[in-house]
Copies of this chain bind each other. A is one copy, B any other.
């Protein structure tokens, strides 16, 4: 008997516009409605909005925190993981997720996208970074247009892996 709960990461900046927060909240709701657990960095902005959405649908929320205190977690985090390793914890956010949905984007989000692509974890983008090298666009980030499509793609990528 192995744990069959699906864990989906939501990554994005800690300071966001109301429109981006609304997207993140809807992504959180959709993840919870489909029975997956939500993993994030546990702080504000995209992380808090996504946890709020998931919580309100009765979903499970995990926040992997950079600092030394569980009380730094946003109020919708049910499982606070206290790493004490600073923003290096971004790697654990990504590796604890079977797919990540990147919303908008700070430089921290960029590190998470890089760690996910390096580890072969699918990255679904919703208004996030686009990458190119030598003028050639990198096509590994799966671009989507709305929360439902983003969560759909995350699930279909995870199923294909198994």
Residues from chain B with a CB closer than 8 A to the CB of A73 are 3
Residues from chain B with a CB closer than 8 A to the CB of A1 are 75
Q: How far is the CA of A132 from the CA of B125 in the complex (A)?
A: 13
Q: How far is the CA of A64 from the CA of B79 in the complex (A)?
A: 12
Q: Does A96 contact B (CB under 8 A)?
A: yes
Q: How far is the CA of A104 from the CA of B37 in the complex (A)?
A: 33
| A136–chain B nearest beta-carbon distance, Å | 10
Q: CB distance B110 to A117 under 8 Å?
A: yes
Q: How far is the CA of A96 from the CA of B111 in the complex (A)?
A: 17
Checking B3, B62, B82, B132 against A129 with a beta-carbon cut-off of 8 angstroms, the contacting residue is B132
Residues from chain B with a CB closer than 8 A to the CB of A18 are none
Q: CB distance A68 to B86 under 8 Å?
A: yes
Q: CB distance A79 to B62 under 8 Å?
A: yes
Residues from chain B with a CB closer than 8 A to the CB of A109 are 114
Q: CB distance B84 to A84 under 8 Å?
A: no
From known contacts A88-B91, A96-B81, infer whether A108 and B119 are also in contact, taking CB-CB under 8 Å: no
Given contacts A107-B115, A111-B118, 15 further A-B contacts (CB under 8 A): A5-B78, A7-B70, A7-B80, A37-B79, A62-B81, A68-B95, A70-B98, A81-B92, A82-B95, A83-B92, A87-B91, A88-B91, A105-B133, A110-B113, A128-B133
